[in-house]
Amino acid sequence: MEEEEERGRKERERKGARRRKRREKEEGKHRLNFTDKNLSVTEWSAPVVWHGTYNESVLENYYANRKITVGLTVFAVGRYLQFYLHSFLSSADKFFMVDQKVIFYVMVDNFSTIRWMPLSRLHTFKIFKIKREERWQDISMVRMKIISEHIVDHIQNEVDFLFCMDVDQIFRGKYGLETLGESVAQLHTYWYKANSTVLPYERSQLSEAYIPMGEGDFYYHAAVFGGTPIQVLNIARECSKGIMNDKKNNIEAVWHDESHLNKYFFLHKPTKILSSEYYWDLYQKRTPDIKNIKLSWDIKNYELLRVNH
């Protein structure tokens, strides 16, 4: 089993590298309008978190007497369960909210293929079975509905803060209390310094995710978002509503749930933004401002993983 996974990982790495090079060449022209300086605070006074812009000991002292619990939802469906869940959880257990109480909410379509793994003292996980959708695009979009249902049913009574993350990523460094906030958004690796005119928002006025040309603040990655349970519930509900309204009209936003997430944060500004150090693509050329990578994309092979039935 482990040898098969290792062979699969090497093959995904080779194919992923080739695919990444093609995509970088195609998208290169869109990454020309960069600013020269890291942004530390937005126009609406939300902090942009970079490594070293916070005092870790102050944060630890602040939260020490508050006995918080942090939740993290992750979906592992189909081949994503086989190839990514174990490495995601093992790296999260090592780096995510070290010395804090954490509950991992794991959504899977097949209990039988889950590998047991021990977690550190303050970390636990709960596993839930979900229906597997026919198309990978639908899997991506239906998660907003599932997240909102679980928040209402139990999560809101179990945690103080909640993150929602994709499974095909690996924690590389300490991902701690500095990331907590009422409403947290993640800058996208490819677009974190790009001019708003080239950001890949949904541009069709027929879609609920529509953002007019020239408007918008940043492009956020749907692989990571979070906040308090009530705020994450608002995010998930509004995105799900937009997705369903589009579906009724036979419309599918260009980047699916991510387009709707960007529309939400366009209308409801996040109270904290995580820099691209908190989610970096290791195949992307590393710029001088990326000094300490906390979380990175895992090797992706969409031809293998995203098979529509």
Reported confidence tier of residue 28, pLDDT bands at 50, 70, 90: very low
pLDDT of amino acid 141? 66
pLDDT tens per residue, range 137-172: 666 668 999 999 999 999 999 999 999 999 999 999
At residue 184, what is the residue type?
A: V
For residue 22, pLDDT beyond 80? no
Residue 15: the pLDDT is 55
**Phi/psi of residue 278, each to 5°?**
-90, 0
3-state secondary structure of 115: coil
Residue 150, C-beta contacts closer than 8 angstroms, at least 6 positions apart? 73, 105, 128
Higher per-residue confidence, 90 vs 134: 90
Q: Which of 127-131, 264-268, 299-303 has the highest mean pLDDT?
A: 264-268
Percent residues over pLDDT 90 in the chain = 69
Which pLDDT score, from 0 to 100, does residue 26 have?
A: 43
Domain containing 30 — which CATH number? 3.90.550.10
Q: Tell which wins on pLDDT, 116 or 244.
A: 244
SS3 229: helix
Strands across the sheet with 220-227, in order?
A: 48-49, 272-274, 183-187, 220-227, 161-166, 69-76, 101-108, 123-129
Can you list the alpha helix ranges (DSSP code H) found in the chain? 2-27, 56-64, 79-95, 136-153, 229-248, 257-267, 302-305
Q: How far apart are alpha carbons 33 and 15 in whole angstroms?
A: 29
Q: What pLDDT digit, counting tens, does each position of 46-87 carry?
A: 999 999 999 999 999 999 989 999 999 999 988 888 889 999
pLDDT at 36 (0 to 100): 44
Residues flagged as binding site for Mn(2+): 166, 168
Residue 162 phi, psi dihedral angles, 5° rounding: -140, 130
List the one residue out of 281, 207, 299 whose CA is nearest residue 17: 299
- CA dist 236 to 72, 141, 143, 225, 278, Å? 14, 10, 8, 10, 21
Q: What is the DSSP letter of 98?
A: T
Range of the domain at 115: 2-305
CB proximity list for 257: less than 8 A, separation 6 or greater: 140, 141, 143, 144, 222, 239, 243
* 258 is known as an active-site residue: yes
Q: pTM for the whole thing?
A: 0.85
CA 60/CA 63 separation, integer angstroms: 5
The pLDDT, as a whole number, for residue 299 is 81
Whether pLDDT at 35 is above 50? no
**What is the count of structural domains for the chain?**
1
240-298 pLDDT, tens digit each = 999 999 999 999 999 999 999 999 999 999 999 999 999 999 988 888 999 999 999 98
Binding-site residues for UDP-N-acetyl-alpha-D-galactosamine, please? 75-77, 80, 166-168
- Residue 14: pLDDT band with limits 50, 70, 90: low
Per residue in 191-207, pLDDT tens? 988 888 899 999 999 99
Residue 195: per-residue pLDDT: 85
Q: Spot the catalytic one: 133, 178, 238, 258.
A: 258
Residues annotated in a binding site: 75-77, 80, 166-168, 188, 258, 281
- Residue 31, pLDDT score: 41
**How far apart are alpha carbons 63 and 66 in whole angstroms?**
5
Asked whether residue 34 carries a pLDDT value surpassing 60, the answer given is: no
What confidence score (pLDDT) does residue 149 get?
Answer: 97
